[in-house]
Structure 1
Amino acid sequence: MADTIRREYPNTPLRLGLAIPGILHVEKSPSQIDFAKALDSFKVNSIGPLLLMKHLSQFIPAKSAQAFTADAASSHDSLPLPSHAIYAMMAARVGSISDNASGGWYSYRASKAAVFQLAKSFDLYLQTKSAQRAIAVALHPGTVQTDFTKDFWGGRDMLEPIDAAGKLLEVLARLPSDAKGGRGRCWDWKGEEVVP
């Protein structure tokens, strides 16, 4: 993938990178934890974004790079992007240790909690490599009405996939690149921080 990007788009920095994997094996009690399924959760939810970060980090602009021109909205449907690059990874509110009030979903919660750490660690790296030219964050899309969540549709507020994606892009477009602006943290589809 990295070789293809380098060949097809030489000297083009990454402006917006999204790592959006997700798999859930439900474990309501410790007795339901299965090694192969737990490993699968970590491979998809944590290690996948980790390896994408490894291979895509070379395309993120350095601090000496020229800032992107902030896009002006040309119509009511377009969303202006900020002048810095953003690398975002899909976390989940259930990955928040502080927010965990019900337990269960052991491997899913743990593998998504790892994404909070990946976003923070990668952002610290970007602060050195890219300064204000790039940030890393984690995202929580809300409960989205897809096959992934079909067993949990009853009694929940649901977002359509297109709505969740649009709201997350709006959140990303508003994130500043300064240290106080939200870099290295997790943001939900409403623009509210999800604490680790």
Structure 2
Amino acid sequence: MSNTPDASPPGTEPPTGRPADLVDPVDPARRRRLLIVLATLAVVVLVVDQLTKVWAEGNLIPGERTPLVGRLLGLSLLHNPGGALSIATGMTWVLTLVATTVVVIVVRASRRIGSTAWALALGLLLGGALGNLVDRFFRAPGPARGQVVDFIAYGNVFVGNIADIAIVGAAGLVIVLALRGIGLNGSRESDASRAAEPPTAPNESESDRG
């Protein structure tokens, strides 16, 4: 009598022999297209951010505010050594390290991209992080300690830039995707849960038929 275990019913294992949750459901060609979308958006955000900063430094005077929408929105040039709301002023190198970490995480996560919405979110985040990171590395007073150019004044609350807008937009999109249960590869949590459930055994009445 053979001790060899019975073969699994067809369809219960992926063709590769790997567990179902390890099989990449994204077509390589689709992933390449999504990576192009992500990279293109990141480059656009970076270029627009840097060009607007150059414009701001050439046309705005530090300390003077140019109103756009009354007191709600205006232009006011500011060289910010800290983060949003001038948080962590004097710890610029820490913010540089954080921005660099964000870039590395986004690049690593992009290898599993399978959703257009996630490609847009990561593209915005990558472009925004790179926009401010360029300032940290290449502006005065020196590498890793550079001051970020801010010029969009939101009331009397804080002053930001295009990179900040991209980062906030990315954060909002990530929250929406998380609430909807959409993973990086485009799958939904509900679909993944159903796929992980063992196949339901046929009831007795059905098995006795025939």
Higher-Rg structure is 2
Question: Larger helix proportion, structure 1 or 2?
Answer: 2
Shorter-chain-normalised TM-score: which range?
Answer: 0.3 to 0.5
Q: Please report the TM-score for the alignment, with normalisation by the length of structure 2.
A: 0.32
Q: Please report the TM-score for the alignment, with normalisation by the length of structure 1.
A: 0.34
